[in-house]
Amino acid sequence: MKDKRRHGNAALRAATLGLLGAAVVPAPASALETPGEQLAKKWEFDTGLLVYSESGGRVQAAEPVLKATRNFGDDRMLSFKLVLDTLTGASPNGATPASTPQTFTGPSGSGSYRANAGEMPLDDSFKDTRVSLSADYLFPVGENGKFGYGLTASKEFDFLSAGANARYSHDFNQGNTTLSAGLSYEADEISAVGGAPVPLALMPAAVSGEVENENEDEDEGGGPGAETKGVVDVIVGLTQVLDPNSLVQFNYSLSTSSGYHTDPYKVLSVVGADGEPLRYVYESRPDARTKHAVFARYKRYLFARDVFDLSYRYMTDDWKVQSSTIDSLYRWNFNSTNYVEPHLRWYQQSAADFYHAALYDGEETRVTEASADPRLGAFSGYTVGLKYGHTMQSGNSWSARLEYYQQTGKREGVPEEAAAGLSKFKLEPDLSAVMFTVGYRFKW
């Protein structure tokens, strides 16, 4: 073409625009690009900030995210992602409430935290910053295949993780059927503050100043050495286009991990028949876990405008945890540049077979595995949310999302001998949280 800075005949343009209407025409600029004048905007950036806030002064998190994607065309894509996570606040340490105030030593043995009478003990000593980085490259293989691989790394104060993954997808049936398979490996290193404690060993703490345990030597149970864990994930999937407006997707995933699964900062209360704590022991988890999960999704385009997305996930593992998730989204594109997206999610899980709300006096010597981590207990939760998104004339877009999560615990794993004594306490922490996310996407 001769010249890219041409503006044409104004009268003709005005008449044409009158015919076609303004909707047809984007912002005026050069129509044609010559090879030497390629647009410089090669990178797309997704930036976002998630603020997560649990009620009752529990965990507060701020998580800025930066993702950069370079699309080379030809279905080749390179992306980098950086996530910073700042966590503060308190989380349940696994101990049950007591009728008198309780004091716990912090992980390092130096600090301490306290729970008032009748209150769920919360460990407020943790403040952490997580940095995670990932890189990913996707490219076509042959006519119908795509191969992708990635590297991930994540670092916290007491945790280091590195991983690699590869995946392949193949289109069949003129792109209406896609089969995919992926494999990933992750190596974790946990360097517990003060060393990983010996499982089910006494926590060096005094209960309300009444019981003096000679537990100083229990400290030696944990050494400064780091614990490790390896995780292998395998996933296979099928995506089938049903008609021009809908598709279904099925995945099966297998996750096997071995190594240190215990949370070094979680304890269990050892209680007497009156339900009051006698002492605390560190939790102990199996050194392996195998999870199977199936996932099904139905996605439909509606009214030539909106998108409806419904999915179900079922997970079961050899810790006897079973969970179900139903997730639904409706994206209402109420005009070409704005959308509203309501979100509804429901989740339920059963408790792990070694979950105990507390241990009865002496039980700690008979069990080999025990945890009172509420995340391994039985509970259900739902999330409701609303997202609003807007695309600007420049093509850049932003969105804001507000979500509310409510979790309700189910009373389980209470030792029979102490059931009457513990009945006066609420043992399953309920949880509610508000999440607010803002995102901005632009090209550079």
Partner 1 sequence: MDAAAGRFTAMASPCEVLVDGADAAELRRVTRVVENEVRRIEQLWSRYRPDNVVHKINTAGGRAVTVDDETAQFLDYAAHLHEWSNGLFDVTSGVLRRAWKFDGSDRVPAQSQVDALLPLVGWGHVSWQSPVLKMPMGMEIDFGGIGKEYAVDRACALARHATSRPVLVNCGGDLACTGPRADGEPWQVGIDTGVPGAATPLVRLSQGGVATSGDANRFLLKDGVRYPHVLDPRNGWPVTGGPRAITVAAQTCTEAGVLSTVALLHGAGAEAFLEDNDADFSLTW
By CB under 8 A, name the binding residues for partner 1: 1-4, 6-9, 11-13, 15-21, 23-35, 38-42, 44, 70-75, 171, 174-176, 178, 241, 244-247, 301, 304-305, 336, 391, 395, 443
DSSP 57-112: TB-EEEEEEEEEEEEEETTEEEEEEEEEEEEESBEE-SPPP-SS-EEEE-TTSS-E
User: CB of 66 within 8 A of CB of 44?
Assistant: no
Nearer to partner 1, 247 or 422 (CB): 247
Rounded Cα gap, residues 125 and 112, in angstroms: 8
Sequence-distant (6+) residues with CB within 8 A of 294 are: 250, 251, 252, 253, 313, 314
CB of 9 to partner 1, least distance (A): 4
Nearer to partner 1, 112 or 337 (CB): 337
CB of 186 to partner 1, least distance (A): 28
CB of 146 to partner 1, least distance (A): 11
Rounded Cα gap, residues 353 and 344, in angstroms: 29
CB of 178 to partner 1, least distance (A): 8
Nearer to partner 1, 37 or 220 (CB): 37
User: CB of 76 within 8 A of CB of 138?
Assistant: yes
CB of 339 to partner 1, least distance (A): 9
CB of 156 to partner 1, least distance (A): 35
Distances (CA, A) of 141 to 75, 146, 165, 293: 10, 5, 17, 28
Q: Longest C-alpha distance within the chain, in Å?
A: 95
Nearer to partner 1, 152 or 246 (CB): 246
Our CA dihedral for 7, 10, 16, 17, rounded to 10 degrees, sits at: 80
Nearer to partner 1, 43 or 149 (CB): 43
DSSP 310-368: EEEEEEEETT--EEEEEEEEEEEEEETTEEEEEEEEEEEEPPPTTB-S-EETTGGGT-S
Nearer to partner 1, 30 or 290 (CB): 30
CB of 47 to partner 1, least distance (A): 17
CB of 297 to partner 1, least distance (A): 13
Going by the DSSP 8-state scheme, the letter that residue 120 receives in this structure is: P
Our CA dihedral for 121, 281, 275, 123, rounded to 10 degrees, sits at: 0
User: CB of 253 within 8 A of CB of 261?
Assistant: no
Rounded Cα gap, residues 418 and 410, in angstroms: 17
Nearer to partner 1, 24 or 212 (CB): 24
Distances (CA, A) of 317 to 116, 266, 297: 36, 21, 21
Nearer to partner 1, 143 or 416 (CB): 143
CB of 408 to partner 1, least distance (A): 38
Angle (nearest 5°) at CA 317 between 132 and 166: 40
Nearer to partner 1, 76 or 320 (CB): 76
213-220, long-range: CB within 8 Å, 24+ apart, which pairs?
213/279, 219/109, 219/194
Task: Give me the sign of the Cα torsion angle 206, 207, 209, 214.
Answer: negative
Nearer to partner 1, 72 or 157 (CB): 72
CB of 398 to partner 1, least distance (A): 14
Rounded Cα gap, residues 200 and 220, in angstroms: 14
Nearer to partner 1, 119 or 171 (CB): 171
User: CB of 431 within 8 A of CB of 50?
Assistant: no
CB of 435 to partner 1, least distance (A): 24
CB of 336 to partner 1, least distance (A): 5
Nearer to partner 1, 23 or 214 (CB): 23
User: For residue 333, what are its two tokens?
Assistant: 């594109």
